[in-house]
Amino acid sequence: MTPNTMTTDNFSLLDNLAIELPSWAFGNSGTRFKVFGTPGTPRTVEEKIADAATVNRLTGLAPSVALHIPWDRVDDYAALGRFAADQGVALGTINSNTFQDDEYKFGSLTHTDKTVRQKAIDHHLECIEIMGQTGSQDLKIWLADGTNYPGQGDIRGRQDRLAESLATIYQHIGEDQRLVLEYKFFEPAMYMTDVPDWGTSYAQVTALGERAAVCLDTGHHAPGTNIEFIVAQLLRLGKLGSFDFNSRFYADDDLIVGAADPFQLFRIMFEVIRGGGLDADSTVALMLDQCHNVEEKIPGQIRSVLNVQEMTARALLVDTDALTAAQEAGDVLGANGIFMDAFYTDVRPMLAERRAAKGLPADPMRAYAESGYAESIAAVRVGGTQSSWGA
* Calpha distance 114→110 (Å, rounded): 9
> Would you say 169 or 323 has its CB closer to ligand PSV?
169
Query: Is there binding between residue 183 and ligand PSV (CB under 6 A)?
Result: no
- What is the CA angle 40-45-49, rounded to 5? 75
Q: Select 116 or 180, whichever has its Cβ closest to Mn ion.
A: 180
286: enclosing H helix or E strand: strand 285-288
Q: Interface residues for ligand PSV in 190-209 (CB under 6 A)? A: none
Pairing assessment for the beta strands 192-193 and 178-182 based on DSSP bridges: unpaired
72 binds, among ligand PSV, Mn ion, none (CB under 5 to 8 A by kind): none
Burial call 83-104: b when 16+ CB within 10 Å, e when fewer: bbeebebbbbbbbbbbeeeeeb
252 is a contact residue toward Mn ion (CB under 5 A) = yes
* Nearer CB in complex with Mn ion: 308/322: 308
Q: Are 343 and 263 in contact (CB under 8 A)?
A: yes
The partner in contact with residue 95, picked from Mn ion, ligand PSV, none with C-beta cut-offs of 5 to 8 angstroms by kind, is ligand PSV
Asked if 20 touches ligand PSV (CB under 6 A), the answer is no
Contact predicate 207/163, CB 8 Å = yes
CA distance 249 to 261: 8
**Shortest Cβ 355–Mn ion spacing (Å):** 28
Least Cα distance to 127 among 183, 84, 174 occurs for 174
Choice between 25 and 84, CB closer to ligand PSV: 25
CB nearer to ligand PSV: pick between 32 and 156: 32
20, 47, 72, 289: which one binds Mn ion (CB under 5 A): 289
Q: Whole-number minimum distance, CB 98 to ligand PSV, in Å?
A: 10
Binder among 184, 239, 292, 354 for ligand PSV (CB under 6 A): 184
Strands 192-193 and 146-147: antiparallel
Question: Where do runs of H (alpha helix) occur along 181-242?
Answer: 198-208, 227-236
Site for ligand PSV contains 244 (CB under 6 A): yes
Largest alpha-carbon pair distance within the chain? 67
Q: Please list every residue from 49 through 108 that binds ligand PSV, using CB under 6 A.
A: 95
CA distance 109 to 136: 22
Which segment (14-22, 286-294, 339-347, 357-365) binds Mn ion by CB under 5 A? 286-294
| Identified binder of ligand PSV from the candidate list 145, 217, 271, 310, rule CB under 6 A | 217
Q: Which residue sits closest to ligand PSV, CB atoms considered?
A: 142
Among residues 86, 180, 79, which one has the least CA distance to residue 128?
Answer: 180
Residues 250-269 that bind ligand PSV (CB under 6 A): 252
Q: Element (H or E) spanning 95, and its range?
A: strand 90-95
CB atoms within 10 A of CB 212: 25
Query: With CB under 6 A, what is the number of residues at the site for ligand PSV?
Result: 8
Q: Contact with Mn ion (CB under 5 A): which of 217, 228, 271, 319?
A: 217
Does 182 bind ligand PSV (CB under 6 A)? Our answer is yes
Residue 380 CA to residue 29 CA, distance in Å, equals 21
Nearer to ligand PSV by C-beta: 182 or 197?
Answer: 182
Task: Examine residue 292 and tell whether it contacts ligand PSV (CB under 6 A).
Answer: no
Q: Tell which one of 26, 77, 104, 142 touches ligand PSV (CB under 6 A).
A: 142
Residue 91 or 374 with smaller CB distance to ligand PSV:
91
Q: Report strand pairing: 285-288 vs 64-68.
A: unpaired
Q: Which is nearer to Mn ion, 194 or 252 (CB)?
A: 252
Residue 319 in contact with Mn ion, rule: CB under 5 A:
no
Taking alpha carbons only, the member of 169, 194, 167 closest to residue 182 is 194
Enumerate binding residues for ligand PSV (CB under 6 A): 95, 142, 182, 184, 217, 244, 252, 289
Enumerate binding residues for Mn ion (CB under 5 A): 217, 244, 252, 289
